[in-house]
Chains A and B, each alone.
Chain A
Amino acid sequence: MTEIEIEPEVSNIFSTNNTALYQCDRSESFILKFFEEHISFKIGELQAIRKKIRNIDLAQLFKSGTPDIEILNVPQCDRIFVLSILEILELKELFSGAFVMLELNSVIHREILRK
């Protein structure tokens, strides 16, 4: 796990109540704020964790007889997350919102800044 100091030049891409995603232009990396922790990812790693979060089947977790937690291995930061349903919902919201913003930023660069 990498603890990161949020520097002033870092941009906030999207936030929820307990999570946020920041972009650091200097290191070309992303910083995930998850409750009190800050974890740094490269874009590929961020895509991988986004895919894992997206693939969590919430309906399965709501079924009786199965534990209502999901264990998520994130080898990039040598860390295993044990996520509750509420945390999963929050991360799903964070990643969908953040990637819409990142794609919007791409559109702005393509249609306005690079022209």
Chain B
Amino acid sequence: MKDILRRHQILREEIVNILNKQVQIEAQSAANYLAMAAWCDVRGYDNSAEFYFKQSDEERKHQLKLFHYLADMECDAISPAIEEPQHEFTTLRSVFERALEMEIAVTDAIHNVVRECRKHGDIATEEFMRWYVQEQIEEEYVARRCLELFDVLGEDKIALGMFEERVLGIEYEGD
């Protein structure tokens, strides 16, 4: 008797479920960043807005990469429903505080996917997720550096102007 389960279903159901959950988390992040970009844009923080537009695009790419992986593995990739993002913030710093919290939550979720892969011995998906683990190191670093800039510069008008000048230059060198 042929092993149809293995021939056509490469991933276990538990892995498919947790990857679809991750697709939803990435989609939610993309929507949240878009809301942050809008908040920054209308208040004249053009560079911060650009920073978050880029972040939103990044999250969308992360979502699609997972989505394609599921489809390539002949599994059902679910286009997710997302919740209403937070549109109101008190200060520019609070936007960046929220961004760091989001990135930490995404990192935790990615690590949970890796743990689930290890639990089920899914070496291929664990290897696929390695890119996300690395990516989260970078994402968290950038979010933290943004907050450190507020610590260094302060939050008066001149400081916020200086923050705007620097925010697009924050990168993770990684070496």
Interface residues of A (CB under 8 A from B): 11, 23, 25, 28, 30, 42-44, 47-48, 102-103, 105-106, 109-110
Contacts and interface: CB of A to CB of B under 8 A. Distances in A.
Contacts of B76: 44, 47-48
Q: Is the interface of A mostly helix, strand, loop or mixed?
A: helix
B165 interface: no
A106 B1 contact: no
Given A23-B1, A25-B1, A42 B6 contact: no
9 contacts: A28-B2, A42-B8, A43-B8, A43-B9, A47-B76, A102-B5, A103-B5, A106-B6, A110-B6
A105 B74 contact: no
Q: Which of A25, A28, A47, A103 has the most CB of B within 10 A?
A: A47
A102 B13 CA distance: 14
Contacts of B2: 23, 25, 28
A91 B9 CA distance: 22
Interface of B: 1-9, 13, 74, 76
Contacts of B6: 106, 109-110
A23 B76 CA distance: 21
A11 B8 CA distance: 18
Contact of B9 (A11, A23, A47): A47
A97 B85 CA distance: 43
Given A25-B2, A110-B6, 14 more contacts: A23-B2, A25-B1, A25-B4, A28-B2, A28-B4, A42-B8, A44-B9, A47-B9, A102-B4, A102-B5, A105-B3, A106-B3, A109-B6, A110-B3
Contacts of A11: 1
A44 B1 contact: no
A102 B2 CA distance: 10
A106 B5 CA distance: 7
A28 B7 contact: yes
A103 B8 CA distance: 13
Q: Which 9 A-B pairs have the closest CB atoms?
A: A109-B3, A43-B8, A25-B2, A102-B5, A11-B1, A106-B5, A106-B6, A106-B3, A28-B4
Nearest to A113: B3
A25 to B, nearest CB: 5
Given A44-B76, A48-B76, A105 B9 contact: no
A81 B7 CA distance: 29
Contacts of B4: 23, 25, 28, 30, 43, 102
A99 B8 CA distance: 14
A106 to B, nearest CB: 5
Nearest to A28: B4
Nearest to B1: A11
Contacts of A106: 3, 5-6
